[in-house]
Structure 1
Amino acid sequence: MTSLFDRHQLGALALPNRIVMAPMTRARGTADGLATPSMATYFAQRATAGLLISDGIAPNRVGTSNPNTAGLRTDAEAASWRQVTDAVHINGGRIIAQLMHGGRVGHESTTGLRPVAPSAVAVPAGVFTPAGPRPAPVPRALETGEVAGQARSYAEAAVRALDAGFDGVELHGANGYLISQFLSTNANLREDRYGGTVANRIRFAVEAVEATADAVGADRVGIRLSPGAGLWDVAEPDHPELYAALLTELDRLGMAYIHLEATTDEAVMLDLRKRWDGTVIVNPSSWLARGDAAFGPRPTDRESADRWLALGADLVSFGRAFLANPDLVERLRLGVPLAEADSDTYYAGGDAGFIDYPSYRHAA
């Protein structure tokens, strides 16, 4: 039986275990989009993971969703990430840059630009801005001729990411951001080649991946998906058919991996596993029964990780468990208790609740 502590070959990367640190926004960059020494410490502390995935990183200015996040929009921003990738590599780790275009999940006060999206449909919620949460604006619908440029923005950022020392990139196609908006039926009301049918709605995702694979090599490219999740008010009523079609198209490109959130029925997840010939990362933290829990009912733990490995996942990603447990790999190996993160410091800025969580100490 496959174990979390078995090795795995991911493209050119030899992973010492099958534990992945999931991408999580921590808002510890500078106001002008640079990575910081504290971010280098944060990722280096967790470098025993088989693979680290960065915070969501904006590929261009109009795609910036959150303030105080380090970007890959310019060469200067890319250069600031070198301290992070160097620290991870010195500590024996491997790190992927997650490229996150927010689409309509953004605000002019953050970027100076009106957000763009498949259609002029606002998120019925507040979005983060430098002045705190504000109602989401109505985005500008992209003209047909503009869509390819936004798809290429992932490829352009990927080139900068590899120049900055990242070992590869993950396109954020999940959780209601731009790729997810194109996949939907309510944020995407287009009547051109990017809207309407399943074949049209998956087109932007495929073009973004193709452009990125052409730019940096398919074996350095992954994508994260959240079938049927409904986050940021994205509707996918036909998501079993939608994601089956998407994976069929992506599977021919020779990508490094797909990263699936367990946001749909298990039967759909298993069908998607069968449709994908390469590496599958699963994040078991289900969003299906959110209830009153702001961050989902249950973080990934050893039990859910082992279960998904038995169901066919190659790697398992842990999010919240990594926040308060920089030594998560060793804690899972030894079966010792996991510390719980302070949710008040998730996005608070500063080093508290970021780089000050201790490793486990055995009682004398």
Structure 2
Amino acid sequence: MPSLFEPIELGSIYARNRILMAPLTRARGTREHVPTPIMAEYYAQRAGAGLIISEATGISREGLGWPYAPGLWSQEQVEAWKPITAAVHAKGGKIVAQLWHMGRMVHSSVTGQQPVSCSATKAPEALHTYDGKQAPEIARPLTREDIARILNDYENAARNALQAGFDGVQIHAANGYLIDEFLRDGTNHRSDEYGGSPENRIRFLREVTERVIATIGADKTSVRLSPNGDTEGCIDSRPEQVFVPTAKLLNDLDIAFLELREPGPDGTCDKIDQPKLHGPIREVFKKPMVLNLGYTRDEAVETIATGVADAISFGRPFIANPDLVRRLENNLPLNKDDIRTWYSQGVEGYTDYPLAR
């Protein structure tokens, strides 16, 4: 039986265990979305993970509405990421960049631009800005010319990621952001080739993935999906009919791995009572599959041992436990994270959590 603590190959990446660090927005960049030096220590502390998936990282100013989050569209950002990836590699770790376009989940006070999406909809709740939370705005529907431009942005960000020293990228297609908005019929109201049928709604993700693969290779490309229920008002009437074909497409494109964020009815953040789709997805996606959200140590061990998934990504436990892999392997107690410092700009609650004795 496979073990949570044994190595796995994720495309071109040799991961020394099957415990991945899930992407975690921590807001420690500058107002210009440039990474800062304290991020090198933070990620290096967590290099014991088989693979670190970076915090969501913007592909463009248009698509990055989270205050103090980092980007990957400029040379200044590339240079600022280099010491961070080098610090992870110096500890024997691996790290990929999660590429992010937030779609309608941005506020114009952060980006200086009207939010965009597949259709003229708006987020259901107030959005983070530099001046606190503000009411969402109606998104401008993307034209075909806009879509072509955004595909170029993904290509540029993927190329920049390798230049910055990342071992690959993950395309963020989950959590109610731009690609997810295209996938779901609750937010995609288009009548052209990007809307209507599941095949058409998948088209944008297919084109993004094909462009990234053409730029850096399939063995360095992964995707994150959230195939269940309502996420930030983004919902589909028949999720199995869109997400299973999506997984089959990604399998045929030969991506390195697929990560599924699957909240349950008892989740600490999202609470979703729709059936999870990792079973049907597993039937069509034959490459490594990673599951995420709310796993305990014992649940993770069993999920790998029974072959339900190939790896587990942990999010919040990595915030307060930089040595999470050692704690899980030795069944040691976990530190508790402090929600007050999730998105603050200092070292408190970022690089000062203690290691297990």
Instruction: Give the TM interval when normalised to the shorter protein.
Output: over 0.9
Are 1:349 and 2:345 matched, yes or no?
A: yes
Q: Does 1:333 align with 2:329?
A: yes
What stretches of structure 1 move > 6 A for 4+ residues in a row? none
Q: Distance between the aligned counterparts of 1:271 and 1:313, measured in 2?
A: 12
1:308 equivalent in alignment to 2:303: yes
- Equivalent positions of 1:176-195 (< 5 A) are 176-195=176-195
Match of 2:7 in 1: 7
TM-score (norm 1): 0.93
- 1:158, 1:169 within 8 Å by CA — same for their partners in 2? yes
Contact 2:12–2:256 under 8 Å retained in 1: no
AA at the equivalent of 1:346: W
Assess if the C-alpha contact under 8 Å between 1:152 and 1:212 holds in 2: no
Decide whether the 8 Å contact of 2:7 with 2:17 is kept in 1.
Answer: yes
User: What is the number of residues matched between the two proteins?
Assistant: 347
Letter in 2 for 1:303: D
Kindly report the root-mean-square deviation, in angstroms, between the aligned alpha carbons of the 2 structures: 1.2
Residue 323 of structure 1 is matched in structure 2 by 319
Q: Is the 8 A contact 1:227 1:263 kept in 2?
A: no
In structure 2, stretches of 5+ residues that fail to align are 265-273
Partners of 1:307 and 1:325 in 2: CA distance: 22
The CA deviation at 1:178 is 0.4
Query: What's 1:71 paired with?
Result: 71
Residues 132-165 of structure 1: per-residue CA shift (max 9 Å, x gap):
1101111111112321321332221010010000
Whole-angstrom CA distance in 2 between matches of 1:71 and 1:210 = 21
Aligned residue for 2:270? none
Contact 1:301-1:318 within 8 A present in 2 as well: no
Separation in 1, partners of 2:228, 2:276 = 13
Equivalent pair of 2:58/2:64 in contact (CA under 8 Å)? yes
Partner of 2:131: 131
The alpha carbon displacement at 1:266 in A equals 5.8
User: TM-score scaled by structure 2?
Assistant: 0.95
Deviation per residue, 1:163-186 (Å, 9 max, x gap): 000000000000000000001112
| Residue identity opposite 1:324 in structure 2 | A
Q: CA deviation at 1:67?
A: 1.2
**Distance in 1 (alpha carbons) for counterparts of 2:147 and 2:238:** 23
Opposite residue 346 of structure 2, the aligned amino acid is G
State the partner residue of 2:280.
271
Hey, what's the Cα distance between the residues in 2 that align with 1:28 and 1:62?
Answer: 19
User: How far apart, CA to CA, are the structure 2 residues paired with 1:324 and 1:246?
Assistant: 34
Aligned-residue offset at 1:124:
1.9
Taking the aligned partners of 1:163 and 1:37, their CA distance within structure 2 comes to 18
Question: Residue 52 of structure 1: CA displacement?
Answer: 0.3
Equivalent-residue separation in structure 2 for 1:315 and 1:321 (angstroms): 16
C-alpha offsets along residues 217-267 of structure 1, whole Å, 9 cap, x if unaligned? 011000000002311100112111111111121211111010011247666
- Alignment-derived partner of residue 282 in structure 1: 291
Q: Distance in 2 between matches of 1:250 and 1:13?
A: 18
Q: Which residue matches 1:240?
A: 240
Distance 1:247 1:354 in 2: 35
Q: Can you give the 5+ residue segments of structure 1 that lack an aligned partner in the other structure?
A: 286-298
What CA distance in whole angstroms lies between the structure 1 residues aligned with 2:38 and 2:229? 32
**Which residue is equivalent to 1:291?**
none
- Give 2:269's aligned residue: none
Question: Is residue 21–residue 49 contact of structure 2 (8 Å, CA) maintained in 1?
Answer: yes
Query: 3-state SS of the aligned residue for 2:205?
Result: helix
Partners of 2:286 and 2:149 in 1: CA distance: 29
Give the whole-Å Cα distance in 2 for the aligned partners of 1:20 and 1:330. 13
